[in-house]
């Protein structure tokens, strides 16, 4: 899919790539001004196997080439490129760089049991948080590799390299395999204190350090584009290190410390840049590194856009057709939930009356999803956030009036909606421009206006709705935890003894499912 090319650029061009789960998006950007000169997009073929989702890494390369061709002829003048991608997809490659098996996406269910054993083997949730910055979710590469070692030992024996998607593509472009701290921080095998791979973790999961790419320093070029048949990027173009999708989005918005982002996609994500290294033993906040020299605490809820769309479909209503909710409460935990930590929960409806309308039920579903996201803002920012600090609202849901107005009403905060609809690709482009121009990529993105967009003033916070949702959530423990402690894993029982930083009345939280990728919008 290609858009019509825009007018000729003024200065050198840079390429930002977002190799997401389902598709690859490319932006060709004028480095001095941030003007998007061309864009391209190409989908990936996925398949289900062994209870999870997989993708042939050759699909990433094909989609990248395809998306770049949509940006011709200007792409042939590109001076620098950077690739961002999902943090929880693992490719296992042979000595020739070819996949040993399809890449494993960060599926939660199949690696959950192995993740639980890992947490216990290395001292429990607090020890993991202090060591790696995060209590790993089943989606973390460390859990995926441990699962693979048990279920596909022949693939492990044949492995000569382990790569995340953007690092694999960077290596294909340059011939050099590297990674950086932002990417490494989301694997579970990087030590947040030392800034190096954790030898004890690697030993526990049987992953030789030699299979992993070395880390490059901030601002260091990976190399240049090689001569590659069928690849429209020019030979000799600079290649900046890639990074994870959340880290690239933070660059694309030019975030400064303490500016919270609420990303409304199929699932919901809250993140902010921080100068302090996070180590949340509850697992609600993943203590990730950013793509520069700071940190990127991040929390994820499982139920956001997908859950609300499902409720709208059940009601036979357009998803914007909401009415004031009144006394009804919907907790739309259709996939369990991670904040609060309710992995076995299902959706809950409370307060239904003869007078309740479909539009009220739909609005209540929005409120239940937004409540969980807002609960994560303070923990992600390291404490209470001043009332005058706005929320930067991103993702497909940010363009929805129903989502936006629900966030404003339940937060009592101003909301800003960036015009940039591909912040991950834009952040990758800013990284490439920073390398080319010798500038801080976040400063580049701020000059480009990556976070610019409509501003919506605050409205009075709806305390009644917040109290109503909190009361239902606090009193529904038996319904939201079917089977009780007997259904919890050992690590979940241990973490339930740790006081949570997430103030949800009546609910104690644990590691949950942790963060996942920011999907293409």
> Which residues are part of the catalytic machinery?
245
Pairing of strands 36-43, 196-197: unpaired
CB atoms < 10 A from the CB of 16, how many?
32
Q: Structure tokens of 467?
A: 């109290």
**How far apart, in Å, are the Cα atoms of 505 and each of 35, 265, 384?**
47, 26, 17
Length of the chain: 521
Sign of CA dihedral 300, 303, 309, 312: negative
- Phi-psi category of residue 168: left, alpha or beta, with phi > 0 → left and psi -120 to 50 → alpha: alpha
Q: Are 164 and 190 in contact (CB under 8 A)?
A: no
**How far apart, in Å, are the Cα atoms of 81 and each of 183, 261, 413, 430?**
17, 25, 37, 9
129-159 as b/e, with b when 16 or more CB fall inside 10 Å? bbbbbbbbbbbbbbbbbbbbbeebeebbeeb
CA-nearest of 434, 423, 422 to 81 is 434
Q: Are 242 and 427 in contact (CB under 8 A)?
A: no
CA separation for the pair 303, 280 (Å, rounded): 22
* Three-class DSSP category at 474: helix
CA-nearest of 454, 499, 219 to 341 is 499
Listed in order, strand segments (DSSP E) in 127-185 are: 161-163
CA separation for the pair 428, 442 (Å, rounded): 11
Q: Are 118 and 132 in contact (CB under 8 A)?
A: no
Spatial strand order of the sheet with 52-55 comes to 47-49, 52-55, 103-104
Listed in order, strand segments (DSSP E) in 182-325 are: 190-191, 196-197, 221-224, 238-240, 243-244, 261-264, 268-271, 286-289, 295-301
């Amino acid at each position: 899919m290609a858009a019509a090319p825009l007018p000729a650029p003024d200065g050198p061009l840079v390429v930002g790539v977002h190799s997401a789960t389902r598709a690859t998006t490319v932006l060709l950007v004028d480095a001095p001004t941030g003007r998007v000169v061309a864009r391209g997009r190409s989908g990936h073929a996925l398949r289900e196997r062994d209870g999870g989702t997989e993708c042939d890494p050759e699909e990433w390369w094909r989609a990248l080439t395809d998306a770049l061709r949509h940006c011709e002829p200007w792409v042939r003048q590109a001076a620098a490129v950077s690739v961002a991608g999902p943090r929880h997809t693992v490719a296992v490659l042979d000595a020739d760089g070819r996949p040993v098996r399809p890449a494993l996406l960060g599926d939660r269910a199949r690696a959950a049991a192995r993740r639980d054993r890992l947490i216990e083997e290395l001292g429990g949730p607090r020890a993991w948080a202090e060591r790696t910055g995060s209590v790993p979710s089943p989606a973390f590469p460390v859990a995926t590799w441990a699962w693979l070692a048990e279920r596909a030992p022949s693939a492990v024996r044949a492995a000569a390299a382990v790569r995340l998607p953007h690092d694999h593509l960077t290596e294909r472009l340059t011939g050099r395999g590297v990674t950086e701290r932002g990417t490494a921080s989301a694997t579970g095998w990087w030590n947040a204190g030392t800034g190096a791979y954790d030898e004890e973790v690697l030993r526990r999961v049987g992953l030789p350090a030699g299979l992993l790419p070395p880390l490059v320093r901030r601002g260091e070029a990976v190399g240049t584009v090689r001569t590659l048949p069928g690849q429209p990027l020019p030979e000799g173009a600079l290649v900046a290190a890639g990074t994870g999708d959340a880290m690239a989005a933070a660059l694309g918005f030019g975030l400064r410390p303490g500016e919270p982002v609420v990303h409304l996609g199929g699932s919901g994500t809250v993140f902010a840049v921080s100068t302090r290294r996070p180590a949340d033993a509850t697992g609600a906040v993943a203590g990730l590194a950013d793509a520069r020299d700071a940190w990127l605490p991040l929390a994820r809820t499982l139920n956001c856009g997908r859950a609300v769309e499902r409720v709208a479909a059940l009601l036979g209503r357009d998803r914007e057709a909401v009415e004031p909710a009144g006394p009804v409460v919907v907790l739309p935990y259709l996939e369990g939930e991670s904040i609060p930590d309710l992995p076995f929960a299902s959706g809950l409806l409370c307060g239904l009356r003869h007078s309740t309308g479909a539009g009220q039920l739909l609005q209540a579903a929005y409120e239940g999803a937004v409540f969980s996201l807002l609960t994560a803002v303070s923990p992600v920012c390291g404490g209470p956030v001043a009332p005058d600090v706005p929320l930067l609202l991103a993702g497909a849901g940010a363009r929805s009036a129903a989502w936006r107005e629900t966030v404003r009403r339940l937060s009592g905060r101003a909301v800003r909606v960036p015009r940039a609809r591909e912040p991950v690709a834009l952040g990758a482009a800013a990284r490439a421009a920073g390398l080319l121009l010798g500038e801080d990529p976040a400063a580049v993105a701020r000059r480009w206006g990556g976070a610019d967009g409509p501003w919506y003033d605050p409205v009075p916070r709806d305390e009644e709705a917040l109290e109503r949702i909190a009361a239902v959530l606090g009193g529904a423990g038996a319904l939201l935890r079917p089977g009780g402690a007997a259904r919890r894993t050992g690590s979940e029982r241990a973490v339930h003894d740790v006081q949570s930083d997430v103030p949800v009345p009546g609910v104690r939280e644990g590691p949950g499912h942790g963060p996942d990728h920011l999907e293409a919008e």
